[in-house]
Structure 1
Amino acid sequence: MSLKSRLAADETLCTAWSGVPDALTVEILARQGFDAVTLDMQHGGHHEDSVLRGLGPVLAANKPALVRIPVGRFDMASRALDFGAEAVIAPMVNSVADARLFAAAMKYPPLGERSWGPTYAFPRHSKGDYADWLRDSNDRTMAFAMVETRAALDALDGILDTPGIDGIFLGPSDFSIAWSNGATVNSTLESMMETVASIAERTRKAGKHAAIYVVEPAIAGRVVSMGYRLLAMGSEHALIGLGAKTLLKSVKDSIES
């Protein structure tokens, strides 16, 4: 099943977050228990070549592949789709104008302005013929606009109304910086939680999908109850750190006993 169909069925999905630009590392990550894998070009080390090569092992594991593009690189949104990504996350979409540019890069005419050229995506997905691909792509691919600033919050209704925007992705760390006027970075800042909940509510009311980065696993149940259904987590740094800590503790506990 596609990412979009599973979200439409109201499943809660967990996507791993890859920042190491190496296809072998992505392959290992894709074989873990996550529902999907996201390659991060904004704050992670991924670049065009690593995205091209890294999407292959995710698709080979029969999992949806997502890409977060750098700020304003809507041209890369089209390239990520042509490489085989099923969804693209665009950071710092702070206005309706930003949302329109993003949607235009994500969707074929008449909905958008995406250029034809699924050189890698079509053979990697191996579904139907080119006519099927053209007919189905706009519905199958997903454009997630990130809400991270007060400007984005103010423009939320307009962003949600933009044709071709399929969902909202909340970046809670950046949002906390904006919410506190630069005083703190705290993804679980209590004073913003009512607004975090309202963003999910407004997104779902508009018939769109709500996603969020989960920095603290303990908050996962709370954000799901708010309406968020795509949860991003588990960078290589976090996974290696957690795995090493757990392994070493087990070894030391055994030695001490």
Structure 2
Amino acid sequence: MSLTKIWGENRAVLNGWLAIPDGFASEIMAHQGWDSLTVDLQHGVVDYGAAVRMLTAISTTDVVPIVRVPWVDPGIIMKSLDAGALGVICPMINSVEDAKVFANAMRYAPQGGRSYGPIRAGFVYGADYAKRANDLVTGFAMIETKRAVGVLDDILAVPGIDAVYIGPNDLALTLGMAPQFDPTHPTMMEAIEHILARAKHHNKRAAIHTGSAGYAKMMVGKGFDLVTVGSDSRFIAQGAAEAVAAFRATT
């Protein structure tokens, strides 16, 4: 399964988030019905070794493996793809130069400059992986600053930028507001809808990070192609808090 195949079925991708550096936890998440799961190397507590174990756990299912890399760094972008990621979310794409560096690292020549060495991806996806890789992978440029919004059309025009991914917390900060999940403030909604509209204009996919199923459904209704709902660490915290609260309420 790949993101492009899901989109070819005319449905939005439901994405989960992995911040816990553990293969078993990732395997549990992978068996819950998500379309894709993202291993977070930026703000999670995951290192590369843990990420490989998590991607291996995801491979016990048809869930599409994605990695959010820490930064616009060709080395970790390529290593994430070599480890088996079929999508890469790259934070803080604030300029055309950032977008070009990211896009170049995502694909083999002649479309890009990705170095050949798919140590795990070649094993998992077959001997012809190198021939298919450029079509299999999806590059998400995170649009999460006022600066990025100002040059959005130029970023979207870069070949190899397949999609945008809105990070609402950082976007809110740069617009002078407190970070928050599921924003409804008119300024934030205007920015979100603008990013979505420009992505559609350039025939690119649009994704957004959300904190609830209800808000995610609203974003799909607006036209988003991928929505992230919660994370493994938040689900543990919420479930534990509910159990404790239920017990306290009866004693």
Deviation at 1:244, TM superposition (A): 2.2
Identity percentage over the alignment? 34
Q: What do residues 203-224 of structure 1 show as CA deviations (whole Å, max 9, x unaligned)? A: 1221111001002443223211
Check if 1:210 corresponds to 2:196. Answer: no
On the 8 A contact 2:72/2:101 being kept in 1, the answer is no
On the 8 A contact 1:176/1:189 being kept in 2, the answer is no
Where does residue 10 of structure 1 map in the other structure? 10
C-alpha separation between the residues in 2 aligned to 1:151 and 1:203?
16
Where does residue 238 of structure 1 map in the other structure? 234
Amino acid at match of 2:147: A
Where does residue 167 of structure 1 map in the other structure? 163
Deviation at 1:11, TM superposition (A): 1.0
Check if 1:152 corresponds to 2:123. Answer: no
Q: What do residues 84-117 of structure 1 show as CA deviations (whole Å, max 9, x unaligned)? A: 1100000000001000000111000111000111
On the 8 A contact 2:18/2:233 being kept in 1, the answer is no
What TM-score do the two structures reach when normalised by structure 1?
A: 0.90
Where does residue 51 of structure 1 map in the other structure? 51
Helix, strand or coil for the counterpart of 1:225? helix
Amino acid at match of 1:44: G
Q: Relative to structure 1, is the Cα distance of residues 56 and 242 closer, same or farther in structure 2, using a 3 angstrom cutoff? A: same
Where does residue 119 of structure 1 map in the other structure? 119
Deviation at 1:2, TM superposition (A): 1.4
Helix, strand or coil for the counterpart of 1:143? strand
Where does residue 173 of structure 2 map in the other structure? 177
Check if 1:186 corresponds to 2:173. Answer: no
Q: What do residues 145-197 of structure 1 show as CA deviations (whole Å, max 9, x unaligned)? A: 000101111121111111111100000011011112xx422340412202201
Where does residue 108 of structure 1 map in the other structure? 108
Matches within 5 A, 1:56-67: 56-67=56-67
Matches within 5 A, 1:131-146: 133-146=129-142
> Does 2-11 or 106-115 show the bigger shift?
2-11
C-alpha separation between the residues in 1 aligned to 2:95 and 2:247?
52
On the 8 A contact 1:7/1:209 being kept in 2, the answer is no
Amino acid at match of 2:151: A
Helix, strand or coil for the counterpart of 2:230? strand
Check if 1:224 corresponds to 2:215. Answer: no
Helix, strand or coil for the counterpart of 1:66? strand
Amino acid at match of 2:169: S
Amino acid at match of 2:201: K
Deviation at 1:49, TM superposition (A): 0.6
Amino acid at match of 1:215: G
What TM-score do the two structures reach when normalised by structure 2?
A: 0.92
On the 8 A contact 2:216/2:228 being kept in 1, the answer is no
Matches within 5 A, 1:86-101: 86-101=86-101
Helix, strand or coil for the counterpart of 1:25? helix
C-alpha separation between the residues in 2 aligned to 1:219 and 1:149?
21
On the 8 A contact 1:197/1:223 being kept in 2, the answer is no
Count of matched residue pairs: 249
C-alpha separation between the residues in 2 aligned to 1:152 and 1:65?
26
C-alpha separation between the residues in 1 aligned to 2:225 and 2:243?
31
Deviation at 1:251, TM superposition (A): 5.5
Helix, strand or coil for the counterpart of 1:60? coil
Amino acid at match of 1:196: I
